[in-house]
Amino acid sequence: MKAAQCTEKIESLSRQLKGMKKIALAFSGGVDSSFLLALAKQAGLEKILAITVSSQFFTREEKKGAQKLAASMGVAHICLDLDILGQTQVVQNTPRRCYFCKTKIFSLVRDTAIQNGIHTFLHGVNTDDLGDYRPGLGAAKDLDFIAPLVDAGFSKKEIRACSRQMGLGTWNLPSQSCLATRIPYDELITREKLEMVDQGESFLRELGFKNFRVRCHGNVARIEMDTKDISSLMDEERRQAISQGLKEIGFKYVSCDLEGYKTGNMNKF
């Protein structure tokens, strides 16, 4: 994306945001919501409130990252804790899980915003998200959340390009998704499974891998990795270290998906 195109799209979105005056943003600290928050700050709105909902689906690193980003931008930030494992419709993990989860999360964001005198609610979905199975978008619509990045026609690639042009350190962050997406539909979500996934992915990041997922199929860890990195994963010494490390975390078997990593792979049903 050319610099002039970035500038034009940024200016268009900034004009849209300026007309909102007071906004609350469901803020994860990922590429999309960070870009949107930075633009809202740049637009000089009357009031901006970033709200992060931290549950067992949200890693400690993500929570700390969101807090650090909001502070660095000088934006008011509220972090709410949610026991999502106490929500029966969520832990049952049907294909509608995301709708029930997002309904709870967005309701908390909405209620908190209203308590702070804000009645315009935003979330950071982009145009690429519309092409995947995302029932959570229905929850956002039901609760009157606005998606400015979609309205302005921003794809993930464009958000990264514009974030880089703006000097945002989040431009090249790996794509985030909640830990529940590592567990196949209709398999019960438990704290133990989430912790195994979290620890497994932290372990792989420490080894230098960036764009991947550890899918939890009972006692089997299925690693999805960018295809260009699979050969590195198969290096004899590293392969043994990964196998041993994931087994120590609690998996009995460790496998590598030869089709590689792709967003939404667990939505094939």
User: So where are the chain's domains?
Assistant: 3-172, 179-267
**Contact (Cβ atoms closer than 8 angstroms) between residue 207 and residue 239:** no
Q: What architecture does CATH give domain 179-267?
A: 2-Layer Sandwich (3.30)
**Per-residue pLDDT reduced to its tens digit, 144-167:** 999 999 999 999 999 999 999 999
Identify which of 138, 144, 168, 165 has the alpha carbon closest to the alpha carbon of residue 33.
168
Provide mean pLDDT across the span 61-77: 96
Is the confidence at residue 269, as pLDDT, over 80? no
pLDDT value at position 226? 92
Secondary structure (DSSP) of the chain: --HHHHHHHHHHHHHHHHTT-EEEEE--SSHHHHHHHHHHHHTT-SEEEEEEEE-TTS-HHHHHHHHHHHHHHT-EEEEEE--GGG-HHHHTT-TTHHHHHHHHHHHHHHHHHHHTT---EE----GGGGGS--THHHHHHHTTEE-HHHHTT--HHHHHHHHHHTT-GGGGPPPP--GGGGS-TTSPP-HHHHHHHHHHHHHHHHTT--SEEEEEETTEEEEEE-HHHHHHHT-HHHHHHHHHHHHHHT-SEEEE-TT---TTGGG--
| Domain 3-172, classified CATH 3.40.50.1820, yes or no | no
Is the confidence at residue 38, as pLDDT, over 90? yes
Is the confidence at residue 74, as pLDDT, over 80? yes
Higher pLDDT, 49 or 233: 49
Is the confidence at residue 268, as pLDDT, over 70? no
pLDDT value at position 30? 95
- The pTM (predicted TM-score) of the whole model is 0.93
Give the pairing type, strands 212-217 and 220-225: antiparallel
pLDDT value at position 86? 97
Q: In what order do the strands lie in the sheet with 220-225?
A: 212-217, 220-225, 253-256
Mean pLDDT is lowest, of 1-5, 60-64, 194-198, 221-225, for 1-5
pLDDT value at position 67? 97
**Per-residue pLDDT reduced to its tens digit, 229-262:** 999 888 899 999 999 999 999 999 999 999 999 8
Share of the chain above pLDDT 70, in %: 99
pLDDT value at position 201? 96
